[in-house]
Amino acid sequence: MEAQAQGAKPVSPVGTMEIRIGRAVVKVDGLVDADMLRIVLGSLRS
């Protein structure tokens, strides 16, 4: 069982991420981790 725990990915926090840029607000509910932040910020650039 210990071998499985070492290879397991850490549990990501569930919550709300809100990004305000000027008058625009992007709000994401659910899985909030570094990967989600990269996805949201990447979509704002395009």
CB 36 within 8 A of CB 16: no
pLDDT of residue 5: 57
Q: Which has more pLDDT, 32 or 11?
A: 32
Q: Is the pTM of this model over 0.85?
A: no
Q: Which pLDDT score, from 0 to 100, does residue 1 have?
A: 47
14-39 tens-digit pLDDT: 888 888 988 988 888 888 888 888 88
Provide the 10 A C-beta neighbour count for residue 16: 9
Asked if pLDDT for residue 43 goes beyond 60, the answer is yes
How many Å is the Cα radius of gyration of the chain?
Answer: 15
Which residues of 1-46 form beta strands (DSSP E)?
14-21, 24-31
Nearest to 31 by CA among 19, 43, 17: 17
